[in-house]
Amino acid sequence: MAAMKKIEKPSPTELPLLFEIDPEPAQEVLTAWGGVPLVVQTLRSLGMPASVKQHVRIKERQRGFDEATFVESLVILNAVGGECADDFQRLREDAGLPELIGHEVPSPSVARTFLNAFHEDEKIEEAKKRRGPEQIAFIPEENEPLEGLGLVNREFIHRLGERCPDQQIATVDQDATIIESRKREALPTYEGPRGYQPMLAVWRR
């Protein structure tokens, strides 16, 4: 009895692709940040823009971005995993993002100018003078713009609590996160590398 000849199946790598490539550029505006509008809608529905307008006053001129747009842009940057102001450039290169959120995000240089308004050399020098002989780290007092942001955060959490009145317990994880920095002003952290240790409080609901 003759043996049956085995039929060899072709390798998947020998088959043509299941789609055709269109060499013409797409007419639609595309974005890689499709989830950002959910973050933005949350901020706006909880009244963040009005709260920032009330409590955070930095700009002296009317042109350019207002404070609420800066704050919203910084939250977006954090939400998508940005680590520094330079990462705004990646967001600016996405043509679809402004159409989703209704405004462009600032350039890295413009964002730094806004952030520098929360920095005050006098308060830093005062905090350094208050250090003990064996102390290295210091915590400067907040200036007016930082205090305003604190009020915005307080109102934001209050309004969020109003949406969930039945939830009376929340877990808060507080930690001084180490952020490495190559700035000359950065001091050594307790783990060795130079950097900053901002105190973060993460609220898990």
pLDDT of residue 42: 94
Q: Residue 101 pLDDT > 90, yes or no?
A: yes
DSSP classification of residue 84: S
Tokens (6 digits) for 33: 């940040």
Q: Give the global pTM.
A: 0.78
Q: What mean pLDDT comes out for the span 82-97?
A: 93
Specify which residues 172 forms β-bridges with. Answer: 203
Which H or E run includes 199?
Answer: strand 199-204
pLDDT of residue 23: 84
pLDDT tens digits, one per residue of 103-122: 999 999 999 999 999 988 89
Q: What mean pLDDT comes out for the span 9-19?
A: 82
Q: Residue 200 pLDDT > 90, yes or no?
A: no
Tokens (6 digits) for 133: 């002989």
Cβ–Cβ < 8 Å for 137, 187: yes
pLDDT tens digits, one per residue of 35-88: 999 999 999 999 999 999 999 988 665 678 999 999 999 999 999 999 889 999
Closest by CA to 191, choosing from 124, 129, 131, 137, is: 137
The number of CA neighbours under 13 Å toward the Cβ of 56 is 25
- Length of the chain in residues, anyone? 205
